[in-house]
Amino acid sequence: MTAISDVARLAGVSKSTASRALSGRGYVSEATRRRVVEAAADIGYIASPNAASLVTGRTKNVGVVIPFVNRWFFGEALEGMERTLLSANYDLTLYNLAIAGPERDRVFDFFLARKRVDAVIAVGVDLTDREVEVIQGRGKPIIALGGTCPGAPRLAVDDRGAARLATEHLIDLGHERIAHLAGAGTGSAARSVQALRRAGFADAMREADLSPVGESDGIVEAEMTLPGGYVAALQLLGHPATRPTAIFAASDEIAFGAMRAAERLGLSVPGALSIVGFDGHEHAELFGLTTIEQFPRAQGRYAVDAVMRLLGETTGDADPLTPDGLPDFDRPLETRLIVRSSTTAPSTKSLVAR
Amino acid sequence: MTAISDVARLAGVSKSTASRALSGRGYVSEATRRRVVEAAADIGYIASPNAASLVTGRTKNVGVVIPFVNRWFFGEALEGMERTLLSANYDLTLYNLAIAGPERDRVFDFFLARKRVDAVIAVGVDLTDREVEVIQGRGKPIIALGGTCPGAPRLAVDDRGAARLATEHLIDLGHERIAHLAGAGTGSAARSVQALRRAGFADAMREADLSPVGESDGIVEAEMTLPGGYVAALQLLGHPATRPTAIFAASDEIAFGAMRAAERLGLSVPGALSIVGFDGHEHAELFGLTTIEQFPRAQGRYAVDAVMRLLGETTGDADPLTPDGLPDFDRPLETRLIVRSSTTAPSTKSLVAR
DNA sequence: CTGAAAGCGCTTACAG
DNA sequence: CTGAAAGCGCTTACAG
């Protein structure tokens, strides 16, 4: 392993000068700089990040805490973060977090507590006060992308408002028998993504003087996956008598499952059942799913930009900044309603049926 | 930040002793050990991995190189690796690799070349000789999970044999008009996953004296995604005259796209068209897809076990080991054919049509 | 603009 | 069984 002393010797300078030349910090004459850089290239020198970290206290590594990798939103966000970090010469260390339990504690108390990451980004996880504290207490910034993060900056779409909009779309089409396939665990954290979307649904219904319709009082919780949506929709649509004419699903994956359930039950979409999802999944277009589009890949990029700023790195500029150069954490991330063929006005038949 | 010297002082011992007590290496009396451990707990001491790495040369960090995160196989494998690494007290640093280009080179020449990881696992990527050399030249083990990895250990299913089996299943049902939706890029690396599956398809067809049937000579390349499969299947199934009665798709995601295309074209599955996939995707059961099941999550676990052994770590024991304690890299990973409702004998009508 | 020296926080021979 | 010392490979004041 070649060390910086080898470079220095070859270039005929001291280690200090070699270090300055290579890092670009401190004064070095252009001539020596060039000589050092050349020497380094000659022997294939690459600085040891450990040694540098030890003295600078910076690791150029960001920890990402994420509950799933294999769900669309999370995978996209992760890829967005990874690419952005890489181009900023940062590493991404992945912590695939279980919902709770000793494994989760170990991530915070051991892995993240060590001096191995400069900051952490938590994606779609509801952090406890303690978890936030243990990171911040060690002087590291933590930011949340979706999920909740008491006392720390949070980047998120307006889940409640967007869910309300999705529901209003259904109401606007003339539906009055509307159900919600909620994300499982809406009760756990009040500001969790699932809970906010459910609240947005409730907002719209209340405003329109409507009550949810369907089995289980028109609200069934589903695991946020296609099979989860399938199972829940089967339950929701079981009884013909209580069947809704429209569903707002808390995620596109749930919505796809609901579409599959409708097919299984012989209910045409949108003829007999309108479905609106949430996410803008890459399959949504192909399946004609009306949805609230969000942009997790861009969100990942944006979260990294924010963290870079918190770390005092001057990267390329992200979009919306407050005067202090930080992103505006209060401004919700972009979403938009995309209407496709899975939603339409309720059929006369179903209107009569009611 | 508390350092080991604080622990030592509090416990009334030297740094050396504190280090030995905490790491478990070297002799320490039980009494002092306990005192040190307690002192460490008292002040919340956590060792700096950087400092330790610097002297031991070990980082307890594994680099994972992976082209996608958001495709089922890759996501599963990644989660499997992450969990296993975590329980061995290792970190996982993620390199989401582009297919080629300067970004890719930078991962190998800079990120992976530094002393930041002890080993690398490449998932589903076709590595060049140079890429393998740059890692191994720095004394780090590299292993491939799927993909190709010249001169390095490789863990993989028998893609060719399994693809052959899938095709034989179709032939066995009586199909004679069979097409293949191949993974894009079958030409690039001869031992790539897509190329091997395509070769297995060809093996079975040749043996049965059959030629592929369908547009583009019965073999259409598809991006390994649902939309990719959809587009390719539309092309393949376009002309009624040349339409196959069965398709072997190089992945389940392609197969799902083909099912969707069949639906669009009014072809019932399996009535008018049998489809067999490859992967054992978590949605396969719900959609009744016949497939070659593989177990990427277990594969990820297994790859980590192998790396741990190469690094001389003694972990819990993985399955099949050669006498030297290393996994048997020549033995293919497990697969099995799962027959579901997407495949059946060709209908009389289609037999007649021919 | 450059170099000598100290030090980041550990671990590891080496004496004792 | 324990401690003093050296050193891993860098960077950073500090002199010059």
Question: Maximum distance among all alpha carbons in chain B?
Answer: 91
Interface of A with B in 7-26 (CB under 8 A): none
CB proximity A115–strand D (7 Å threshold)? no
How would you class A5 by CB atoms within 10 Å of its CB: exposed for 0-12, middle for 13-18, buried for 19 or more?
exposed
**Residue B189: per-residue pLDDT:** 76
Please name the residue of chain B whose CA is at the shortest distance from the CA of residue A97: B83
Instruction: Identify whether A56 is part of a domain.
Output: no
B65 three-state secondary structure? strand
In B159-213, DSSP assigns E strands to: 178-183
Shortest Cα distance, chain B CAs vs residue A203, angstroms: 33
**Residue B348: per-residue pLDDT:** 72
Cβ atoms of B82 and A64 closer than 8 Å: no
Cβ within 8 Å, pair A50-B107: no
Instruction: Identify whether B52 is part of a domain.
Output: no
Per-residue pLDDT tens for A70-103? Answer: 999 999 999 999 999 999 999 999 999 877 788 9
**Ramachandran region of residue B335, left (φ > 0), alpha (ψ -120 to 50) or beta?**
beta
Cβ atoms of A248 and A264 closer than 8 Å: no
Number of domains in chain A: 3
Of the residues A55, A70, A260, the best mutation for testing chain B's interface (the one with the most B CB atoms within 10 Å of its CB) is A70
Instruction: Identify whether A54 is part of a domain.
Output: no
Q: Using CA atoms, how far apart are residues A128 and A56, in angstroms rounded to an integer?
A: 30
Cβ within 8 Å, pair A230-B286: yes
| Domain co-membership, B185 together with B282 | yes
| Domain co-membership, B181 together with B228 | yes
| Domain co-membership, B133 together with B188 | no
Query: Measured between CB atoms, which of B54, B75, B94 is closest to A50?
Result: B54
A50 touches chain B (CB under 8 A): yes
- The residues near B225 (Cβ < 8 Å, ≥ 6 apart) are A282, B71, B253, B254, B257
Please give the protein residue whose CA is closest to the C1' of the nucleotide D5. Answer: B16
| Domain co-membership, A316 together with A265 | no
Instruction: Identify whether B79 is part of a domain.
Output: yes
A58 touches chain B (CB under 8 A): no
Shortest Cα distance, chain A CAs vs residue B49, angstroms: 7
**Separation in Å: C7 C1' and A53 CA:** 13
Q: Using CA atoms, how far apart are residues A91 and A61, in angstroms rounded to an integer?
A: 5
Task: Kindly report the pTM of this predicted structure.
Answer: 0.94
**Residue B352: per-residue pLDDT:** 46
| Domain co-membership, A345 together with A289 | yes
Q: How many CA atoms lie within 13 A of A88 on its CB side?
A: 28
| Domain co-membership, B180 together with B281 | yes
Q: Using CA atoms, how far apart are residues B340 and A220, in angstroms rounded to an integer?
A: 29
| Domain co-membership, A136 together with A163 | no
Amino acid identity, position B308: M
Shortest Cα distance, chain A CAs vs residue B211, angstroms: 31
Q: Using CA atoms, how far apart are residues B246 and B274, in angstroms rounded to an integer?
A: 4
B95 touches chain A (CB under 8 A): yes
> CATH code at A181?
3.40.50.2300
Instruction: Identify whether A34 is part of a domain.
Output: yes
| Domain co-membership, B120 together with B166 | no
Of the residues A69, A76, A230, the best mutation for testing chain B's interface (the one with the most B CB atoms within 10 Å of its CB) is A69
CB proximity A98–strand C (7 Å threshold)? no
Instruction: Identify whether B271 is part of a domain.
Output: yes
Per-residue pLDDT tens for A19-59? Answer: 999 988 878 889 999 999 999 999 999 999 999 999 999 99
Q: Mean pLDDT over residues A157-166, rounded?
A: 98
Per-residue pLDDT tens for A190-224? Answer: 789 999 999 999 999 999 999 999 888 899 999 99
Which residue range is the domain that position B29 belongs to? 4-47
Burial readout A263-290 (b: 16 or more C-beta within 10 A, e: otherwise): eeeebebbebbbbbbbbbbebbebbebb
Cβ atoms of A133 and A113 closer than 8 Å: no
Per-residue pLDDT tens for A255-301? Answer: 999 999 999 999 999 999 999 999 999 999 999 999 999 999 999 99
| Domain co-membership, B229 together with B307 | no
Instruction: Identify whether A52 is part of a domain.
Output: no
Instruction: Identify whether B218 is part of a domain.
Output: yes
CB proximity A87–strand C (7 Å threshold)? no
Contacts 24+ apart (CB under 8 A), A284-289: A284/A252, A284/A338, A284/A340, A285/A340, A286/B226, A286/B227, A286/B230, A286/B257, A286/B260, A287/A256, A287/A259, A287/A342, A287/B260, A288/A340, A288/A341, A288/A342, A289/A252, A289/A255, A289/A256, A289/A259, A289/A340, A289/A342
Amino acid identity, position A153: P
Tokens of B244: 């196959």
Interface of B with A in 63-82 (CB under 8 A): 68-70, 72, 75-76, 78-79, 82
B111 touches chain A (CB under 8 A): yes
Query: Which of the nucleotides in strand C have any atom less than 7 Å away from a protein CB atom?
Result: 1-13
Q: Which nucleotide is nearest to B56 (CA to C1')?
A: C11
Q: Mean pLDDT over residues A99-113, rounded?
A: 90
Cβ atoms of A184 and A222 closer than 8 Å: yes
Cα torsion A79, A85, A87, A90: sign: negative
Q: Phi and psi at residue B72, in whole multiples of 5°?
A: -50, -55
Q: Using CA atoms, how far apart are residues B175 and B345, in angstroms rounded to an integer?
A: 7
**Residue A317: per-residue pLDDT:** 52
Query: Which of the nucleotides in strand D have any atom less than 7 Å away from a protein CB atom?
Result: 1-13
B144 three-state secondary structure? strand
Cβ within 8 Å, pair A72-B70: yes
Q: Which residues of chain B have pLDDT under 70?
A: 1, 315-325, 349-354
**Residue B232: per-residue pLDDT:** 97
| Domain co-membership, B139 together with B66 | yes
B233 touches chain A (CB under 8 A): no
| Domain co-membership, B89 together with B235 | no
CB proximity A53–strand C (7 Å threshold)? no
| C-alpha A32 chain-centroid distance | 46
Tokens of A173: 């089409």
| C-alpha B211 chain-centroid distance | 31
| Domain co-membership, A168 together with A265 | yes
Shortest Cα distance, chain B CAs vs residue A223, angstroms: 14
Burial readout A145-161 (b: 16 or more C-beta within 10 A, e: otherwise): bbbbbbebbbbbbbbbe
CB proximity B353–strand C (7 Å threshold)? no
